[in-house]
Amino acid sequence: MSQESSNSPDELRAIPSELKRCWDRLPNKLLFGLMFLGWVALFHFLGNSTLGYIKTTSLFGWMKYAFSMSDADELGAYMPLVVIGLAYWKRNELLEAAKAPWWPALCLVLLGLLTHWAGYVVQQTRLSIVGFFIGLYGILGMTWGFRFLVTAFFPFCLFVFCVPLATETERITFPMRLMATKITGVFCHYVMGIDVIADGTMLFDAKGKYQYEIAAACSGIKSLSATVAISIIAGFMFFKAPWRRLVTFLAAFPFAVLGNVLRLVAIIIASEAFGENAGKFVHDNSILSLLPYVPAIGGVVLLVKFLGDQELRKETPAQGVDPASAAGTASP
């Protein structure tokens, strides 16, 4: 497992001086500052062409509005802070990689401009958000080189969570809702002995005492977003092998479904034991709504620990055994 810095109190107190050291070592600061300010100004004044919902030409104003309109997208508002924190965590790697400008990265900036132009013309602001981050990534390469681009890919890829997808929730979550409904019905019927019928995204008691529809808002999209983000962060922070990172990322999806199943089972049990109002209480209670996060995030943590232990055993040679003597005493 790889870890660049600890979170000791001494390091926390040293953050201001460490930031100054990084600032002093970073080359081409003026070049980056000018290009960054110009890029931000472009998207502030000509970033949004859809004025029907919020009257602003600023891409960032539209993003703020979109984040405030959907709980499923609010994670994007905090992702820049997460990226900055992870960049600080990788500061030594980034400083070592920051060299001379690499002008072929201009192609990324042009691709970002083209993507933004397409989004601006067809009034798809999400495309403009993608264009903004593609171009910003290109500016990093133009300023500090190709190696810096490779090193900065993580945490930069986390900006994907800044693209609001609330209007696409139905399309994204429908397969998850079907799967969670079916698993819940099977589990309640065969394991809990509760006669629950699953029909599409509907769960209802065979006696007709209660019924629930697994709507898009109850699909676990919030826990899925959080779990995917945590799995990506954990994979890149703790593992070097690409396959371990990929396994950690892919595991987020079944863990999120498992978390949603746990919540649905809790609702069914409450309804069966105490009536439909008890089920609604479990559904609406803000504390109990955190149930999906328990197996989802807990599963990612346990998986990271398991894979990390496996990696550590592979990298650490056997202790207390002399390879030469072991070879000499080995049986033919």
Return the pLDDT at 69: 86
Return the pLDDT at 216: 66
Kindly list the averaged pLDDT for each block of 10 residues, start to end, along the chain of length 332.
53 87 94 98 96 90 91 89 94 94 97 98 96 98 96 93 81 84 91 88 80 72 87 90 91 91 92 87 87 91 89 62 44 40
Return the pLDDT at 315: 67
Return the pLDDT at 2: 45
Return the pLDDT at 321: 47
Answer whether 139's CB lies under 8 Å from 39's CB. Answer: yes
- The beta-carbon contacts of 126-132 under 8 Å, at least 24 apart in sequence, are 126/163, 126/164, 126/165, 128/43, 128/47, 128/48, 128/59, 129/59, 129/63, 129/162, 129/163, 129/164, 130/163, 132/39, 132/43, 132/47, 132/59
